[in-house]
A and B are shown apart, each in its own frame.
Chain A
Amino acid sequence: MLPDGAASQSTAEQPRPLGIEPAIHLRSTSLLHRVLGEQALWVTVAVLLIVAYMSFREPYFASPENFYNISRNFAFIGITALGMTVVIISGGIDLSIGSAVGLTAVAAGVVLQAGLPWYVAILAALGSGVLVGGINGVLIAYVRLPPFVVTLGMMSAARSAAVILSGQRVVSNFGPDGPIFKAIGAGAFLGVSNPVWFLIVLTILLALVLRFTTWGRYVRAIGGNEQAARMTGIPVDRIKVQVYVVAALSAALVAILTIGWTGSAVNSLGTGYELRAIASTVIGGANLLGGEGGAFGALIGSVLLEIIRNGLLMAGVDSNWQGLLVGVFIVLSVSLDRIRGGKRG
Chain B
Amino acid sequence: MALLELKGVAKHFGAIEALAGVDLAFQPGEIVGLMGDNGAGKSTLVKIIAGNFPPSAGELFMDGKPVVFGKPIEARQQGIEVVYQDLALCNNLSASANVFLAREDKVRLWPFWLMRDRKMYARAAELFKELKSETRPADLVRQMSGGQRQAVAIARTRLSRAKLLVLDEPTAAISVRQVAEVLDLIRRLRDQDIGVVLISHRMPDVFSVADRVVVLRRGRKVADKPVKATSAEEVTGLITGAIHVA
Residues of chain A having any CB pair with chain B under 8 Å: 1-3, 5, 8, 12, 15, 20, 23-27, 209, 212-215, 217-218, 220-221, 223-225, 227-229, 231-234, 291-292, 343-344
Distance, CA A229 to CA B97, complexed state (A): 12
Which B residues contact A (CB, under 8 angstroms)? 72-73, 87-93, 97, 101-104, 106, 109, 112-115, 117-118, 121-122, 125-126, 128-129, 132, 134, 136-139, 142
> A26–B114 contact, CB under 8 A?
no
Given A223-B92, A225-B91, A229-B90, also A234-B134 (CB < 8 A):
no
User: B93 to A217, Cβ gap below 8 A?
Assistant: yes
A254 to B94, CA, bound (A): 34
B121 contacts A24, CB within 8 Å? yes
A214 and B115: CB pair below 8 A? yes
10 contacts between A and B (CB under 8 A): A2-B128, A8-B136, A20-B122, A20-B126, A23-B136, A24-B125, A217-B97, A220-B93, A228-B87, A232-B101
What 7 pairs across the A-B complex have the smallest Cβ distances?
A224-B90, A224-B92, A291-B92, A228-B88, A213-B112, A232-B102, A214-B113
Min distance, Cβ A202 to any Cβ of chain B, angstroms: 15
Residues in chain B near residue A212, CB distance under 8 A: 114-115, 117
Cα–Cα, bound, A314→B117 (Å): 48
Chain A residues positioned under 8 Å from B137 (CB to CB): 23-24
**Contact in complex: B92, A292 (CB < 8 Å):** yes
Count of inter-chain pairs, beta carbons less than 8 A = 99
Contact: B106 with A3, CB < 8 Å? no
Decide if A15 touches B134 in the complex (CB within 8 Å).
yes
Of B91, B103, B112, which is within 8 A of A215 by CB?
A: B112
A209 to B113 Cα, complex, angstroms: 9
Given the complex, which residues of B lie within 8 Å of A225, measured CB to CB? 88-92
B92 touching A2 by the CB < 8 A rule? no
In the complex, what distance in Å separates the CA atom of A228 from the CA atom of B97? 13
Least CB distance, A288 to chain B, in whole angstroms:
14
Smallest CB separation, A70 vs chain B (Å): 33
- Whether B90 lies near A228 (C-beta < 8 A) is yes
Determine the chain B residues whose CB is within 8 A of the CB of A233 once the complex forms. 73, 102
Cβ-closest chain B residue relative to A287: B92
What's the nearest-Cβ distance from chain B to residue A28, in Å? Answer: 11
Given contacts A1-B129, A218-B102, 11 further A-B contacts (CB under 8 A): A23-B138, A24-B121, A212-B115, A212-B117, A213-B114, A214-B112, A214-B115, A224-B92, A225-B90, A228-B90, A291-B91
Decide: A20 near B134, CB < 8 A? Known: A217-B93, A220-B90. no
- The smallest C-beta distance from B33 to any residue of chain A, in angstroms, reads 25
A25 to B118, CA, bound (A): 9
Kindly state the separation between the CA atoms of A176 and B131 in the bound complex, as whole angstroms: 69
A214 to B102, CA, bound (A): 8
